[in-house]
């Protein structure tokens, strides 16, 4: 089943951890996943068990000016009065630039566009949006997108094909308010199905009021991931928690959540 999931939320809530857990857990079930790192911090590689030496060899696609020029016809930073290709051929990028991660995952790191905001009309934007269209419309694998706050790489037509925006929320009122704002961004692009996961939840925390606030806004709460010190230790070691502490509390909780996530996505099909 070719599912398309956008993982969103403010910085530091755990989007990258959850994206990596989802991709690897589905991969272990024989469902290979393409993960797309759209976040400026580009930390998804470590969550997928990719060695530091391999990560350092690959620059984000938006920063590879030779690639952008080859595909689009204009080098970043040159005059955009020149004509450049808005629909470049991108079918070979996954094979050439994708990094092989653990458990049947493949990673593409997009990087950020430095010449403007979400409406940037530039060679990098043309390439990345064409690549996202290809991944969303043409690939048969699960596609998981670890998004930056502004979901800038998703155009309207592409976003409309996203099965679900999964918003990661910390247990607090301000984080819930941010999640509602993030939903608004996704809604404006054409995404219609929204869910949330509470992350870093201390044992015994009552989240019923916060859950009710999200549900009232049309955001389905899938479940909670517990606060787990193994995540901090794994981050300090610059490795995935799935490799540092196999079967950790957070991994088990995410695995238990998979049927609920799959059920929501299936409803969208």
Domains of the chain, residue spans: 4-268
Quote the pLDDT of residue 84: 76
Q: Which residue has the higher pLDDT, 188 or 221?
A: 221
Residue 41 pLDDT level (bands cut at 50, 70, 90): confident
Task: Note the pLDDT tens digit of each residue in 77-130.
Answer: 775 556 777 789 999 999 999 999 999 999 999 986 554 444 455 888 889 889
Q: How far is Cα 56 from Cα 96, in angstroms, rounded to an integer?
A: 16
In the prediction, which pLDDT does 119 show?
47
Identify the band that residue 267 occupies on the pLDDT scale cut at 50, 70 and 90. confident
CATH class belonging to 4-268 = alpha beta
What is the reported pTM? 0.92
Select, from the ranges 35-44, 82-91, 117-126, 193-202, the one with the highest average predicted confidence (pLDDT).
Answer: 193-202
Work out the angle at residue 246's Cα, subtended by the Cα atoms of residues 252 and 170, and round it to the nearest 5 degrees.
50
Select from 126, 139, 172 the least CA-distant residue to 9.
172
3-class DSSP assignment, residue 99: strand
φ, ψ (nearest 5 deg) of residue 187:
-60, -40
Distance from C-alpha of 166 to C-alpha of 261, rounded to nearest angstrom: 9
Tally of CB atoms within 10 A around 64: 18
pLDDT averaged over every residue in the chain: 89
- Per-residue pLDDT at 190 exceeds 60: yes
Q: Looking at residue 268, what is its pLDDT?
A: 63
Least confident of 24-33, 76-85, 208-217, 247-256: 76-85
CA distance 41 to 148: 9
Question: pLDDT tens digits for 90-100?
Answer: 999 999 999 99
């Amino acid at each position: 089943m070719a599912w398309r999931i956008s993982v969103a939320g403010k910085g530091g809530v755990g989007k990258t951890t959850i994206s990596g857990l989802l991709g690897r857990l589905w991969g272990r079930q024989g469902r290979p996943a393409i993960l797309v790192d759209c976040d400026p911090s580009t930390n998804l590689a470590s969550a997928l068990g990719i060695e530091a030496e391999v990560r350092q060899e690959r620059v984000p696609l938006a920063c590879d000016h030779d690639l952008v020029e080859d595909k689009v016809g204009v080098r970043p930073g040159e005059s955009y009065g020149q004509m450049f290709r808005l629909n470049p051929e991108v079918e070979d990028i996954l094979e050439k630039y994708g990094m092989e991660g653990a458990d049947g995952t493949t990673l593409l790191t997009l990087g950020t566009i430095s010449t403007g905001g979400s409406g940037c009309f530039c060679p990098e934007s043309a390439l990345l949006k064409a690549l996202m269209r290809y991944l969303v419309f043409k690939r048969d694998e699960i596609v998981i997108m670890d998004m930056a706050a502004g979901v800038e790489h998703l155009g309207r037509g592409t976003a409309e094909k996203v099965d679900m925006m999964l918003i990661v929320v910390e247990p607090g009122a301000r984080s819930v308010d941010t999640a509602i704002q993030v939903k608004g961004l996704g809604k404006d692009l054409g995404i219609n199905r929204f869910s949330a996961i509470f992350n870093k939840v201390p044992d015994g925390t009552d989240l019923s009021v916060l859950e009710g606030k999200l549900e009232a806004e049309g955001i389905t709460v899938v479940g909670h991931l517990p606060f787990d010190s193994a995540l901090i230790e794994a981050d300090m070691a610059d490795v995935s928690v799935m490799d540092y502490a196999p079967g950790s509390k957070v991994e088990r909780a995410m695995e238990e959540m998979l049927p609920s996530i799959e059920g929501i996505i299936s409803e969208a099909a």
